[in-house]
Structure formats: C-alpha cells, structure tokens
Amino acid sequence: MLGNENSKSQVLVDMAEKKTRYEKLVHVYHSELYRFAYWLCRDPNIAEDLVQETFLRAWRSLDSLLDQKAAKPWLLTILRQENARRFERKQFDYSDVENDTLVDEKSVTLDDEMEQTVIQRQIAKLPDEYREPLLLQVVMGCSGEEIAEILDLNKNTVMTRLYRARNQLKEALSRDDEQLKGASN
C-alpha cells in the first residue's frame, strides 16, 4: 500500500514539474510564435489557432524535449507542421483580394509605413523556399543552425537560400524604386 502512495505522489510531482516547464515555454515563446504564424498565414485568427495547436502538441510531447536550449527550434518546427496540416485538412476559397499587411504602429510618417508595406509585400512574393528562412532569421531571430534544424536542411543550403532571398528582395525593391522615380518624372 505504501509503494502505491509513493508512486501516486511521484506522478503528481512529475505532472507539476511538466506543468511548470510548459507554462514557462508558453510565457517565453507565445508572442514570437504568434508573430511567425501571422507571417505564414496573414490572418490573426488562424495565427492564434496555429499557436494554440502548437502548444497543445508541445504539451503532449514535452517529455521528448530533452534540451531546453532547443525549445525554440522545436516549437517552430511544430508550428510549421501545424501550418502544413492546415492545407491538408481544408480547401480554401481563394479570391483576388490582396492579403492584409502588418502595420507598425510605431512608424512616425506615412513614408515609413509605405516603405514597410512595400517590403512586406515583396517578402510575401518570394518563393517559400526563400521566404521561410528569411522570416525565421529576420522575424524570429534564428541562427543559421537553428533554421537548418527547423527546416531539416543543411546549414550551407540555408545560408545560400538566405543570400538568394536577400538578393531577390534587393532586386525587387530596386525595381520598385526605379518605377517610382520614373513615374515622378
């Protein structure tokens, strides 16, 4: 009988520790995961759903996270998989309406807002293979190694894609700038 009580108390202790670890993960990474999810889907409601599903799956698999330093890449991988599942489950109705853009409420001038909108639109036009590593680096602050782990790629491949993404973005922004100069003449 005493052994049964000890095992029950150990289970309760283990569950309390798991709950504490989980709550810390949510507290530390919720806003970053939401920001990345929003960049992926451009819809605040879907982004919140993705983050909730990510944390639900994280709770179920929390025991598999052995290294706390790997939590961010682990959660980002789960979020990316959840986003992919979204397309497997549902066929979306597409329309010609352009997606909403993130607005930086701290921008002081209309020029700053327009510039940011142009950059966001150009990033959204990049192919997925270039956009995703760029967003992971710029929005999420991931290192090349972390991006490689999240995307299950070689680090050199990641670095090449980041280089090409920046070049494509630079070229697109230069074209936009030239078009604006030509239109103002």
92-101 pLDDT, tens digit each:
555 554 555 5
| Whether the predicted pLDDT of 158 surpasses 60 | yes
Segment 25-66, tens digit of pLDDT: 888 889 989 998 998 888 899 999 999 999 998 888 888 877
CA-wise closest residue to 57 among 35, 33, 31: 33
- Cα-based distances in Å from 56 to 37, 59, 84, 108, 164: 15, 5, 16, 39, 35
| Whether the predicted pLDDT of 102 surpasses 80 | no
Pairwise CA distance, residues 177 & 179, whole Å? 5
Q: Which two structure tokens, joined as six digits, stand for 73? A: 């890449």
Return the percentage of the chain with pLDDT > 70, whole number.
79
CA-wise closest residue to 111 among 180, 171, 36: 180
Asked if residue 130 lies in contact with residue 171, where contact means CB atoms within 8 angstroms, the answer is no
Higher pLDDT, 90 or 166: 166
